[in-house]
Structure 1
Amino acid sequence: MNLPQIRLQTQQAKINMTTTPPQQSIEQPQAELDLQNAKLEMKIERTPAKLTIDQTKAWEDMDLKHIFRRIEEAAQLGYEDWLEGIARRARQGDELMRIEEGGNPIADQAKVNSETPPKEFNIGWVPSHFSVKIHYEPGDVNIKWRHERAIINAKINDPKMDYKPGKVEIQMVQYPDIKIDFENLTFKGLNFEMNI
């Protein structure tokens, strides 16, 4: 028995893809930096400290005097004794002038003129307290700074970029195809019959 048959034969499409990957390169040049360091000036003004020690009085208390001081004291003592002598003689002259008023002025004056004054004795310190004079003036330090800002010049360099885009190439290797085949297939129409 001949059965009608339809045969289909297909062929799939085939493509070929060739890809070229993209390429990118980035180069970053270093920044250019110009640094100029500013000068720094420091000025120091110093007033030195001053210490004064005066031992003159201490040396005088120990009877170790400068010759000029001895001459000055001797002159002063002589001047005072001279004035005292003038005053004593004037006083005693006045007493003798009034001898008629009574008393014994000649004997009294002889006694006063012949006696030396009594010696005084007391406890003391050699040299005496605070005979060494100390004077101190503190020093001073004045520091002045002068500085300028540093000069910084910076130049930024842009990055260098190189980009090559990728490609995709598509090629048709095999086209699609369909084949239809008939067997034992007849078409019957009005008053005719036909093999397909």
Structure 2
Amino acid sequence: MLQPLLQIRQTAALIGMDADSGNLSITQPKAEVNITTTSGELAVQSFRPEFTIDQSRAWAAFTGGSMSDMNKRIYSGIQQLYLQGIARKVEQGNQMAQFFKPGNTIAEVYGTDTEPNSFPETRGPASYDNVDIHFETRDPRIEFRPATVSIQVETHRPEIEYTRGKLNIYMQQYASIQFIPPKVNVQL
């Protein structure tokens, strides 16, 4: 004999979800760059060459030069002539001391001294190199200031915006249990 069976039907619960994703927006403004330059500067200062001609020795040889230079030459010349005169008198005196030698008589010693005493030269020595020429150049003065560059950068932070999406959770189907009893034929 068959035993009647109790049927149990179960329906599972279903949860429904309706979701939209969120939106993320990131923007960043461009950085601001400020560049400032100062131009370089170059300054060059040049000097004229100096050309000098000194003709004083040529004029001294030609005309005697200035009065003070002429007096210096006369003074030093007289001093030299004086020393030469003393030397000549000493030599004549030595010859006279040896009068016993032939040719050392007074007439012969002093008779030959007929040259006049000369006056010292008042002019300077003559030479082809009496004119001094001097040419002088100077290096240019150069001043340089280099160019400068100043760079300033201002950055901006990124702007971030986030919009949340929606999330809707609901019960699509509730859980249920159904008991179905067996059909029982009872005949009495």
> What TM-score do you get using the length of structure 1 for normalisation?
0.49
CA distance change for structure 1 residues 33 and 112 in 2, over 3 Å: closer, same or farther? farther
Contact 2:96/2:109, CA 8 A, preserved across alignment: no
**Which structure 2 residues correspond to residues 155-166 of structure 1 after superposition, within 5 A?**
none
Alpha-carbon distance in 1 for matches of 2:37, 2:94: 98
How many corresponding residue pairs? 121
> What TM-score do you get using the length of structure 2 for normalisation?
0.51
Q: Counterpart of 1:76 in structure 2: which amino acid?
A: S
Instruction: Give 1:68 deviation, angstroms.
Output: 0.8
Q: Counterpart of 1:40 in structure 2: which amino acid?
A: G
Contact 2:36/2:149, CA 8 A, preserved across alignment: yes
Contact 1:48/1:140, CA 8 A, preserved across alignment: no
Partner residue in 2 for 1:53 = 53
Give the % identical residues: 26
Contact 1:44/1:141, CA 8 A, preserved across alignment: yes
Contact 1:92/1:109, CA 8 A, preserved across alignment: yes
CA distance change for structure 1 residues 138 and 108 in 2, over 3 Å: closer, same or farther? farther
Instruction: Give 1:51 deviation, angstroms.
Output: 3.0
CA distance change for structure 1 residues 47 and 91 in 2, over 3 Å: closer, same or farther? same
Partner residue in 2 for 1:150 = 149
Alpha-carbon distance in 1 for matches of 2:72, 2:112: 29
Q: Deviations over 1:34-55 (max 9, x none)?
A: 3422153445566664433211
Contact 2:49/2:135, CA 8 A, preserved across alignment: yes
Structure 1 gaps, min length 5: 1-30, 118-126, 157-196
Partner SS for 1:62: helix
Partner residue in 1 for 2:13 = none
* Structure with the larger strand share: 1
**Which structure 2 residues correspond to residues 47-196 of structure 1 after superposition, within 5 A?**
49-116=49-116, 128-153=127-152
Contact 2:41/2:147, CA 8 A, preserved across alignment: no
Q: Counterpart of 1:107 in structure 2: which amino acid?
A: A
Partner residue in 2 for 1:193 = none
Over the aligned positions, Cα root-mean-square deviation in angstroms equals 3.5
Instruction: Give 1:128 deviation, angstroms.
Output: 4.0
Alpha-carbon distance in 2 for matches of 1:112, 1:100: 18
Instruction: Give 1:104 deviation, angstroms.
Output: 4.1
Instruction: Give 1:137 deviation, angstroms.
Output: 2.4
Contact 2:43/2:143, CA 8 A, preserved across alignment: yes
Q: Counterpart of 1:114 in structure 2: which amino acid?
A: T
Partner residue in 2 for 1:188 = none
Q: Counterpart of 2:63 in structure 1: which amino acid?
A: D
Structure 2 gaps, min length 5: 1-30, 118-125, 156-188
